[in-house]
Every structure is written in C-alpha cells, then in structure tokens.
Structure 1
C-alpha cells in the first residue's frame, strides 16, 4: 500500500535531508544525468531510502530499475512504448503509470499497474502541462473506474489535502509545495501529519 504522502525529488540528497521529517514514499526523477552518473545517483537514492525505511520509486529508467533491483518504477504514457513490462514484472518491480485523460486511463489500466497517477489536479507550478486541470471532481470521477491506488498530482498545496483525500485520492504527490518552501523539512512534516 502506498503512503498517503508522495514526494518527487530530483536528487538523492533530498531523501537524506527529508528522511528525519518522516518521509516514507519518494520518487527519484532525474532528467539531467545519463550513463554512470545516472546509475550512481539512482543507486545512492535506493541505498539511502532502504536504510531509512523509505519506499523509493524510480522514474522512467526501467532497465536501471531492473539492474538495481528497485521495488518500484513510475512510467509516463510515452514510456509505455519502450518499457519491457513483462521483464519488469518478472523482476518483481511494481509499476505506477501517469494519466491525464480518460483515454490514457483506459490504456494505463490495460497494463494492470500497481497505482495510477492522475493529473494535473490543479495548474502545475513546476512545469508546463498541456492538459486541463481535473480538480477534486476529476479525482472522484476517476476513482469510480480505478481499483488500484490512485495518486493525485499537479499543483497541489497542503491546504487541499483533506478535500482531495475525501474525493478518493489514496496518495497526494507534490514537488513544489515542499521543495520550494522556505523550510522544506517542516513543510514535509506538515504534509505527513495532514495525510495520516
């Protein structure tokens, strides 16, 4: 079962920094490295997470997830073209898939994922997204179609946590609301307390 608070970071140092706040679920999304540097960062993230009792989800890099014996992998819609889902399943890797539209949801569900990410729930603050915001009503609508855990992502602030959980989100995923805060550790702790 996924923890109700899900943080995305771009560097394993964030995991070490925020572990004392009680972080239990984190995705390591590294876009600016490749080759050995990428492998080293993912390995470091997995080591820190395992030592701290944190579930780590690797973003995109499905072959490295297998090679590093990761437990979790997150895939975007475009990643579904290339990823060898059968090999991932054989390796025991659990899979989450991003969705933005009902068509993407139907496609994602055909792969029998371990969770579905829905977004953007609100206008994203960290990157440009070419999809309309779904809001709490979108979560409620998608909840009726999804039996696996449902992760809400996109522009979410701490003040919206109660509403989104009530709408049916099992887990709330954020980046900016924690990492851009003046005190990321305190904000992370507040999120964890709000979603228990």
Structure 2
C-alpha cells in the first residue's frame, strides 16, 4: 500500500449541514492522504451511494480509500481496502474475499497488534489513545504507553487514533507515532483544510519533514 501520514475518517454527525464529499475534499486538500468511510447508521443502499461518491473523489485526488466493516460495499465500489475491528470477520477470512486489497485492523493491546501483523494486515490502528466520543462502543483509552509499545515492536504501518486533537497530538508524536488519524477534530473543524495542515506541521516538527 502507499504510505500515508494523515488519516481522515468520516463523521457526519460532526458537520451537520455540510455535504460529506465537500468536507472530505477539504481534508484531502489540507493534506489527508487516506480516507475512510465509517457509517454505523445508514442503510446499505445509502452506504453504497456514499462509497461511490467518495471513491470518485479519492480517485480524482489520488488518495487511498478505505471502507470500514462493509466488505461488500468496498468490493462494489472497488475501494482500495477495508478496515476491520476485533469483533469483525477474521483477517484471514477477509483476505479470501478481498484478495490483495488493503486490510487494516483496529488494535487495543500489543498482543492484538502482533497477531494482526503475523496474519498479514497491511496496517493497524492503535487506540483509542485518549477518550473519544466518535464511537459509541469504544474501549477504554490505551494511552500513549501502547503507542510506545507499537513503535518499538510493530514493523507494519500503524496509525494512532482516538481523541487526538491539535492540543494533544504532540504527546502522541513524542511517543513514536508517525501516522495520525483524527475524526471530529478534522471534519468538525470550521477550517478543515487549515486543521489538516496544522497536524502535518506538527508531524514535520517531529519527523524532520
């Protein structure tokens, strides 16, 4: 998969009155280089509509497009990959369905990260680092201690996620993260493009970019 630094996930509840594609395009123009469609409430028909629109957008800007949970939707729109949680279809079974498409796995402890890496995940999510309101079924925060563990041991790409804001991202970067995911801080921002650029500026400070 193409490497990435700033991962933006959809969260329509954080931008009422704004079109999904408009919001996500602003994120891309600000520097987000991987986009995930995550929607726990829409019907399959509505999910397909949104996925098609985001697939068109991401192709236009040549950024990676991931669909959360719904393998059928990802295949229907030829998304670049899927993202699965610990309670979703096992990685090895998902691989049979999606072939060489990207598979990302959410992890909350180092054992889950090790297993995902061993089973062939293309990347993992590490989190939630801080308390977050972006997911109803969220587990307890893993803190930056888990970020440090992943940075020390995991060799596939990992992205820190969960409650990450401009005011606390320095803690995550200092712990060893080189890829950041944000939801509400990006899509709920009055200046989406500017917020993404500020994240990247902070990342550059730590990574010498």
Deviation at 1:8, TM superposition (A): 0.7
User: 1:55 corresponds to which residue?
Assistant: 64
* Secondary structure in structure 1 of the residue aligned to 2:41: coil
* Structure 1 unaligned regions, length at least 5: none
1:156 aligns with 2:158: no
C-alpha distance in 2 between matches for 1:130 and 1:27? 17
Count of residue pairs brought into register by the alignment: 194
State the Cα RMSD in Å. 2.2
Deviates more, 1:97-106 or 1:124-133: 124-133
C-alpha distance in 2 between matches for 1:18 and 1:103? 32
1:84 aligns with 2:94: yes
- The TM-score, its normalising length taken from structure 1, stands at 0.86
- The TM-score, its normalising length taken from structure 2, stands at 0.81
Contact 2:123 2:158 survives alignment (8 Å): yes
1:193 aligns with 2:193: no
Contact 2:26 2:192 survives alignment (8 Å): no
1:16 aligns with 2:25: yes
1:136 aligns with 2:144: yes
Residues 1:2 and 1:160: Cα distance change in structure 2 (over 3 Å):
farther
User: 2:15 corresponds to which residue?
Assistant: none
* Secondary structure in structure 2 of the residue aligned to 1:63: helix
Contact 2:8 2:27 survives alignment (8 Å): no
Deviation at 1:81, TM superposition (A): 4.0
Contact 1:21 1:188 survives alignment (8 Å): yes
